Amino acid sequence: MSTTRENGSLYTSIQNKIATIEFGHPASNSFPSELLERLRKEFQKLSDNEEVNVIILKSEVEKAFCAGASFDELVAIENLEQGKKFFSGFANVINAMRACKKLIIGRIHGKTVGGGVGLAAACDYAMATEAAAIKLSELTIGIGPFVIAPAVERKMGLAALSELSLAAHEWKNAYWAQEKGLFAKVFDSISDLDKEVALLSEKLASYNPQALQEMKNILWENTSHWDNLLIDRAAVSGELVLSEFTKNALAKFKK
């Protein structure tokens, strides 16, 4: 099923120590600010839930995995304060994923753009289908993937971040993303992906929760400064989105 709600949908189910978060939006599973805030709060809530050992992050199946931030909200930005707030949406979610005490498995079933790539990179373990091509197209409209760059670089390395960011017009296929470390495994079909996600999550949920949390701490070592770094990056994007170049580029997309 696809949601028709203007601000999208977000549902969480918990079974056998596994929490599954599923988000959706009519515009290719993109994120308006309200939905990003709901996702941030959900990660924070599950972090302290003793009935949860592992989290699965997924989106509605009929569309792309995530088309990034809301285009309608992007074109409506009129000042620096609005710009910083808009770009802080993904910053806050990535920081919530980083600080979450539970390991997060990403189930990436389709194309992923911009902030969606950041979400995949912020997962502790991500698996995908062959359809899960990725792209960072921000430079084409005069901004850059500044907020998500630390998460992408941490997972894929500086060279891959550079290639993705500078070749902003190019899609990279799922096997390229696997080779660079974003995806642990790539499958032919969604059904095969779901089987493997279920198998891994069940295994992890059966392990010592304290050991899982300590492993999470090690995986995210030396990232505590991201609380400030990502918000500072959001301010940079918020300023650039007001530039004449970006306003003209966005106007072309609106036509």
42-65, pLDDT tens digit by residue?
999 999 999 999 999 999 977 799
pLDDT top residue among 247 and 5: 247
What's the token pair of residue 70? 């809301």
DSSP assignment string, 190-211: HHHHHHHHHHHHHHHHTS-HHH
Task: Count Cβ atoms within 10 A of the Cβ of residue 207 and give its class: 0-12 exposed, 13-18 middle, 19 or more buried.
Answer: middle
Distances (CA, A) of 173 to 58, 61, 157, 162, 182: 19, 18, 17, 16, 11
User: Do 113 and 66 contact (CB within 8 A), yes or no?
Assistant: yes
CA distance 32 to 50: 30
Q: What is the mean pLDDT of residues 230-247?
A: 95
Predicted local distance difference test score (pLDDT) of residue 3: 55
Q: To 5 degrees, how large is the angle CA 221–CA 21–CA 52?
A: 65
5 pLDDT above the threshold of 80: no
Query: Cα dihedral sign for 15, 21, 25, 28?
Result: negative
Predicted local distance difference test score (pLDDT) of residue 7: 81
Provide the mean pLDDT of the chain. 95
67-114: pLDDT as tens digits: 999 999 999 999 999 999 999 999 999 999 999 999 999 999 999 999
Predicted local distance difference test score (pLDDT) of residue 43: 98
- pLDDT tier for residue 250 given thresholds of 50, 70 and 90: confident
Predicted local distance difference test score (pLDDT) of residue 1: 46
Sequence-distant contacts of 155-160: CB under 8 A, at least 24 apart: 155/121, 155/181, 155/182, 156/121, 156/180, 156/181, 156/182, 157/181
- The H or E element that residue 185 is part of is strand 185-187
Lowest mean pLDDT among 60-64, 179-183, 207-211: 60-64
12-51: pLDDT as tens digits: 999 999 999 999 999 999 999 999 999 999 999 999 999 9
Q: Where are the alpha helices (DSSP H) in 48-172?
A: 71-75, 80-99, 115-122, 149-156, 158-166
What's the token pair of residue 254? 């609106």
Q: CA torsion, points 162, 146, 124, 65, in degrees to nearest 10?
A: -90
